[in-house]
Structure 1
C-alpha cells in the first residue's frame, strides 16, 4: 500500500510542477489586467518624483554654469535619460486617458471586450515595466549625482578670437619670426619690442591664440607685468592659471619651479619695463631643466631683453599708409564713406603717424560723429604744435593720445578715466566704483554701488 502511494505521489509531483509552470504565464496577463489602475497610479507617482529630482538637478547645473564650472558627463547623461523617460511615461499616460475617453463615448458590449482586454493588458504591462526597469533605477542613481560639477580655469578673455585683429604686411614678418622661434627647440626666450602703442600686446595675443589652436603647448599663461612689477602677484597669476595652490607665500617660487620643470608651457610676460629674476625670484626654470617651456616677452626697451638673456628679439615699427588707413576705416565705421568726410578722415589718419593706439583712439572717438565740423576740429588740433610739456620722441604721440581724453563726453567720464589711470592694470571694477563714490564724482543723493 505504501509502495502504491509512493508510486502515485511520484506520478503526481511532476504533474503539479508542470501545472505550476503553466499557471505563471497564464496568470501574468490577468495580473496586468487586474492591476491596470494600480500600475498607472504607481507610474504617475514615480514620474512626479523623477520630474522633481530632475528639476532639482537642473537648478544645481544652472548655478554651476553661472559659476563657470564644468558639468560632469554622467550628470548630463542622467538628465537626458530622465527627460526621455518622462516623455515616454507622459505619452503612455496620455494614450491611456485617450483610450478611456473613446471607450466612454462609444460603449460596446461583447463585440468590443476582447480588443479592450488586449489594449488594457498592453498598456498595463508597459506602465509596470517602464516604472520598474527605467524610472526606478534613475531615481536610485540620484545619490551619485552630487556634486554635479567641478571647477576649472576658464579660458582667458584674450584667447577669444579677436575680430579687430588685422594681419598687416609689416607685422607678418614679426609674426613669422616669433612663430618659428616658438617651434625651435633650441630657443627658450623670445622678445617683441617697440614703443608704446604699436600693438605688441595684440600681436603676441594673436600668436598665443594660434598656439592654442595648433596645440603647440600644454598650457599657455598670459601675465601683465607693468612698470612696477609685483612679484607675488605675478607668481599668483601664473599659479592660478596652472591650477597650483599655495599654503604660504614662502613656497611660491619652489612650487612654481616644480610645476613648470621639464614641461611644455608657454609663458607670455607682457609689458616688461625692467629685468626680472625669473628663476630665483619668480620660480621659472631657466636652465637645463626648463624642458620645452618658452618665455615670450613684450617690452619697450630691447636692452631689457638682452639683460635677461633673450637673443631672439624682434622689433615692431609704425604702420605704413595703407595699413593705417585700413585700421582707421575698420575702427571708424561707415561714416567716413561719405564724400564730405572721406578726405578729412584720410588727413586725420595721416596725422596719426601710423601708430595703432592713436589710430584706434581717434577713429573710435569719431565713429558716431557725422558732423563735418567735428572732424575739422579734430584735424586742426592734430596739426597744432605739440605742447612743451611732452619731451623727446614721444611728445607727438602723447599729445595725440590726450586728444581722445579731451573728447570724452563729460567731466564725470574724464575724472573716472583719470582715477582708472592711477589704479593698477588688473584692478577690479568694484574698486574703481568705491573710489568714484568716495570722491562724489557720480552726482546723486544716497547713491548705492548698484546704482553706480
Structure 2
C-alpha cells in the first residue's frame, strides 16, 4: 500500500510542480486587472511628482543660463526623457478615461493597467531617483571679453596696415615669444593689439587674454584679473604666481596681451613664463616707451606713429561728426545765449 501511494506521489509531484509554475504567470496577468485602478492612481501620483521635479530643475537651469553657465549634458538628456515620459503617461491616463467599463473593455483594461504599472516602475521611478544628481545643473564659464566679439570700433587706416601685418607675422612666428607695440598715448595701440588679438584667437590661438597694467602697477590686481580670465582658483596668497605660471606654461596656444605698461616688470613675479619655458604662450605688450620693452627683453618691437592728415580727419568726423554739425548750425544761426551757459 505504501508502494502504491509512493507511486501515485511520484506521478503527481511533477504535475503539481507544473501547476504551481503555471499558476504564477496566470496570477501575474490577472493582477493587472485586479489592480487596474490602483496602478493608475500610482501612475498619476508619480507623474505629479515628476512634474514638480521637472519644474524645480528648470528653475535651476534658467538661473544658470542667466548667469552665463553651461548646462550639463546629463541634465539636458534627463529633461528630454522627462518630457517624453510625461507625454506618454498623460496619453495613457486619458485613454483610461475613455475606456468603457464593461466586458468588451477587459482586454483593453488589462493592457492599460500593465502599461501603467511598467511605465511607473521602469521609466518614472528611475527619473525621480536622479533628483540628488541635480544639485548642480551647470558648469561655470569664463566670460569672453567684449572686445573679442566685435571689431566695430576699429578703423582700417592705410598707415596702420603694415603695423598690423608686422604684429601678425610675429605672432605667427614660433620663434618669437614677446612682441611690443610702442608710441605716444592715445594713438591707438590698445585698439590695434585688440584687433590682432581677436583675429589671432580665431586663427592661431586657442585663447586670447587681455589685461591692462596701468601706470600704478598692482601685481595682485593683475594676478586676480589673469586668474579670472584663465579660470584659475587660488586657495592661498602664496600660490598665486605658481598657479598662474603652471596654467600659462601648460597652455598649448595662448596669447597674453599686457596693455599700457609704464615700467619694466619681472614677469615671473606675476606668474608669466619665461621664453625658455613658455610652451605655446606668447606675449603682446603695449607701452609708451621703447626702453621698457628692451629692458624686458623684447626684440620684436614696432613703433606706432601718428595718423596721416586725411586719416586723422576721417577719425575726427567719425567720433565727433554730429557734435561738429550741431556746433556749426548754432554758430551759423547766431542763437542768443549759446555762450551764456552755466556749468554745474
Normalised to the residue count of structure 1, the TM-score between the two structures is 0.66
RMSD of aligned alpha carbons? 3.0
Counterpart position of 1:20 = 20
Rounded Cα–Cα distance in structure 2 between residues aligned with 1:365 and 1:80: 55
Match of 1:242 among 205, 226, 230: 230
Match of 2:261 among 255, 269, 272: 272
When residues 76 and 18 of structure 1 are mapped into structure 2, their CA distance, relative to the original with a 3 A threshold, is same
Q: Where do residues 77-96 of structure 1 align in structure 2 (5 Å cutoff)?
A: 77-96=77-96
Contact 1:192 1:297 (C-alpha < 8 Å) held by counterparts: yes
Rounded Cα–Cα distance in structure 1 between residues aligned with 2:27 and 2:235: 69
Quote how far apart the aligned CAs of 1:276 are: 2.0
Q: SS state of the match for residue 232, structure 2?
A: coil
Q: SS state of the match for residue 228, structure 1?
A: coil
Counterpart position of 1:353 = 313
Structure 1 segments unaligned to the other structure (5+ residues)? 105-111, 325-351, 367-371, 380-408, 413-452
Contact 2:89 2:119 (C-alpha < 8 Å) held by counterparts: yes
Match of 1:162 among 151, 166, 172: 151
Counterpart position of 1:42 = 42
Counterpart position of 1:113 = 103
- Structure number with the bigger relative contact order (C-alpha 8 A, sep ≥ 6) is 2
Quote how far apart the aligned CAs of 1:245 are: 3.1
Contact 1:71 1:150 (C-alpha < 8 Å) held by counterparts: yes
Rounded Cα–Cα distance in structure 2 between residues aligned with 1:78 and 1:410: 64
Contact 2:71 2:137 (C-alpha < 8 Å) held by counterparts: yes
When residues 373 and 113 of structure 1 are mapped into structure 2, their CA distance, relative to the original with a 3 A threshold, is same
Rounded Cα–Cα distance in structure 1 between residues aligned with 2:322 and 2:294: 37
Counterpart position of 1:296 = 284
Q: Where do residues 129-144 of structure 1 align in structure 2 (5 Å cutoff)?
A: 129-144=118-133
Contact 2:177 2:275 (C-alpha < 8 Å) held by counterparts: no
When residues 289 and 373 of structure 1 are mapped into structure 2, their CA distance, relative to the original with a 3 A threshold, is closer
When residues 320 and 94 of structure 1 are mapped into structure 2, their CA distance, relative to the original with a 3 A threshold, is farther
Contact 2:143 2:229 (C-alpha < 8 Å) held by counterparts: no
Match of 1:261 among 236, 249, 254: 249
Quote how far apart the aligned CAs of 1:30 are: 2.8
Quote how far apart the aligned CAs of 1:223 are: 0.2
Rounded Cα–Cα distance in structure 2 between residues aligned with 1:168 and 1:134: 64
Rounded Cα–Cα distance in structure 2 between residues aligned with 1:20 and 1:150: 56
Q: SS state of the match for residue 222, structure 1?
A: strand
CA deviations on 1:167-196 (whole Å, 9 max, x unpaired) are 454434333322221121210111223333
Quote how far apart the aligned CAs of 1:251 are: 4.2
CA deviations on 1:6-65 (whole Å, 9 max, x unpaired) are 222222222222223333443444322222211111100000111111111222222333
Rounded Cα–Cα distance in structure 2 between residues aligned with 1:26 and 1:262: 67
Contact 2:43 2:116 (C-alpha < 8 Å) held by counterparts: yes
Quote how far apart the aligned CAs of 1:215 are: 5.7
Rounded Cα–Cα distance in structure 1 between residues aligned with 2:17 and 2:33: 25
Q: Could you tell which deviates more after superposition, 67-76 or 313-322?
A: 313-322
Structure 2 segments unaligned to the other structure (5+ residues)? 333-340
Normalised to the residue count of structure 2, the TM-score between the two structures is 0.84
Q: Could you tell which deviates more after superposition, 313-322 or 258-267?
A: 313-322
Quote how far apart the aligned CAs of 1:292 are: 2.5
Rounded Cα–Cα distance in structure 1 between residues aligned with 2:331 and 2:180: 36
Aligned residue-pair number: 335
